[in-house]
Chain A
Amino acid sequence: MKRIAVFLVTILMVLSACGGASGPGAGAPGTAAPGAVAQQGCGPKGSGALTILGTPQEEYIQGVTKTFEAECGIKMSYVRLSSGEALAKLRADKAAPQFSVWWGGPADSFIAANKEGLLEPYVPKGVEKIPAQYRDATGIWTGIYVGALGLAVNTKVLKDKNLPEPTSWADLIKPIYKGQISIAHPASSGTSYTMMATQMFLNNKDIEKGFAYMKQFHQNVLQYQKAGAAPARQAGQGEVAIGVVFSHDTVAAIEEGFKDLKVVFPSEGTGYEIGGMALVKGAADPIAAKTFMDWAITAKAQELAPTYKAYQIPTNSDAKVSDKSVKLAAVKTVTYDFQWAGDNKKVLVDRFSNEVAPQPR
């Protein structure tokens, strides 16, 4: 009996200690009091706390969160989810949204989310610095970066297996690459959806032809990943020879030390993304959310990206472009119709999930 009492007391002590140190609930106001005065260069703080859904790679979100907290005095926490997962989460939370801003990931998913009534228009202050083709005119989403699809090719694995280096989308469906390709699932990943939509655009939006390609492509895929950038690391580890990812993810993986990787842009033309950002409808803290969105499109905020190995091209025309970013003008791209890709996302993804992904290999 006495020991149980000791045990319970110990637990209580642990509880109170932890409660004091970390505190449950990131929503708990941090340093800022409600309605506190705006910090220099930042908008109003609202409740002083902000929770966002982030889709790019985690270091980048982490870095942006820390910098924003320090600069604007708003306590920010994040959850990283891939595009499809983020969309599913917003759908699940519709009645009581836990997130105020959705930050990053291809704009297609934002268009799809808007179709479901999950977003609230907001045009961030200073948006004129962002070229019109990189944002939605009505403020449903605003582009924060641009990236192009590329193949993450592991030259060592190819050499080991005596395989030629793939140079085109057509190469990827050759049987010699069976089990040597990694890509995420388009239901969970915006990267992968961009790849699928690209096949539709290469076939002049002929969905049947696009799916015929996807079915053959499927035969060579080892396993569908959840996060879009994962295949770059998987190729880097040598688990597969080829990862289909955004080229900036491959550059980041090479920086991390996966030296055998190189970026190859498919010769038929590659797809590209505009990384979006949007205000969530029914956001718990719209004021802090807007302050963050205003901040996130500034040149200074966008220039943070390379510090965290995020080599996307910034959308703010004043922002310096890292020399590690892809030169979009030098790469052959498809004509990517974001509205079409967004409008058809649910149909295409469902069809892929039902018809392609379960096919035996």
Chain B
Amino acid sequence: MTDIDLIRNFSIIAHIDHGKSTLADRLIQLCGNVSDREMQDQILDSMEIERERGITIKAQTVRLDYKAKDGKTYQLNLMDTPGHVDFAYEVSRSLAACEGALLVVDASQGVEAQTLANVYQAIDHNLEIVPVLNKIDLPAADPDRVKQQIEDVIGIDASEAVPISAKTGVGVADVLEAIVTRLPPPKGDSKKPLKALLVDSWYDAYLGVIVLVRVIDGALKKGQRVKLMATDTSYQIDRVGIFRPKQEMLPELATGEVGFFTAAIKQVADTRVGDTVTDEKNPTAEPLPGFKPAQPVVFCGLFPVDAADFEDLREAMGKLRLNDASFSYETESSAALGFGFRCGFLGLLHLEIITERLEREFNLDLITTAPSVIYHLHMNDGSTIEMHNPADMPDPVRIDHIEEPWIEATILVPDEYLGAVLKLCQDRRGRQKNLTYVGTRAMLVYELPLNEVVFDFYDRLKSVSRGYASFDYHIVGYEEGDLVKLSILVNAEPVDALSIIVHKSRAEQRGRTMCEKLKELIPPHLFQIPIQAAIGAKVIARETIRALRKDVLAKCYGGDITRKRKLLEKQKKGKKKMREFGSVEIPQEAFIAALKMEEN
């Protein structure tokens, strides 16, 4: 058991690409936890998708033993946290389990919007923050400017920021010293009854549900009977352990320590993040305040390309939800796409990740429909409907007015791209709240309707700023909007999965763009195909896909049959990835791609 004064619990806050995972790798290596043979990059990002995208989705934790310059060996618990706004919820619970945080900023880039949000959260949790300037080996690094920026934007002292290069290893030892000298040890009373914060939980194929905890008071022991206070359920603890990052079993977790336990818990949904774990017979008198559950804000339909895969999709979603309680789904049936699910996500990245995992880990081909937000429909009869799906829009004559969610967005962008970003925000019905300068970078605060953001705002923002703008948002409330349902008709048949809710002032342009896009996306058929955008019965845009031209091979003799048959087999496979509407085949990717807007 480690003396509580020798424990340091910390997390790393960083923008994507600013080097969080590399720094974590170096810290782990320097403390000798992993042999060189076992070392791989981004050791804490265990999901394939995390490694590929260079992001962290699930909180991970690792215990390091560090022999400091004062001769004492410290127990460092690193809580790796997601960096993206969609997972702010997971960040907040990880931060709640720490006393300090490393703020890693790319010395050549400076502070980004997502970092800001996480740092503010850390400050709210009263965490001690140690700024770390990474990538000082880059020619473009400007540590002094970035220090100044940290002080100006975040308002913390950056004079003792640790300059490092996680890539080369320079300065990493100083980071370890800063952790033990500048971050406080946990407070807690080992004499008190067990009180532990349930930080996260996930399903493991071998051990069942693994519960990650931070012990606040008392100790958590193997064999102990514990109670999860919010869900009011009791379990006997089977195993207690820590990650190094490999699992290591221990007899107990003491006050201030971070680790995991397993008990006979059937599914992740039986545990609630933020709950208090206490002794069943001798419970704590003061449970932790807990967290409010994450609410999905973005919705879309997911349909199997092959209708026969519906049950497989249901099973896959059930499995994913075991590990991700923030994602919700319910059955949906579409006239165009058949049976599928209406799913709720924390944000767009979350949506992308879930669909990608479904396709990759469960080998499913999916059609994703346009993301939507929750609209509040105030009906003439005084009732209110929450609408998640444009296809469910009732007859407009029955609607008194519609409200849509608005967000407050913070955007940090280098000066030279400010004009383009302002135009983008303006085009998306934004209202400017604030514009300040931090050195050569502008910090913009805008209010925007979420429905203008859910689709491709982030893509567009990156594109107009050449990747230099960063973006963060939170929902501020609902406002009435002049909204209409835009329907798309392909060969005179309405395709419900392509309908969207749009502001009336933008309807015509959106309709025109969608028709043009579909014209490119739908391959020519044996007949010509009209594509129309309509509000109610009024057609506001139209395109025509010309009939297929001559496509026959000039020569096909005995030696050509095999090749031609193989081509035919390939084409048949491709055809299976299309959905037929009336007699028109629409490729699966068209449902999302049709909505992308190229603005100048």
B partners with A? no
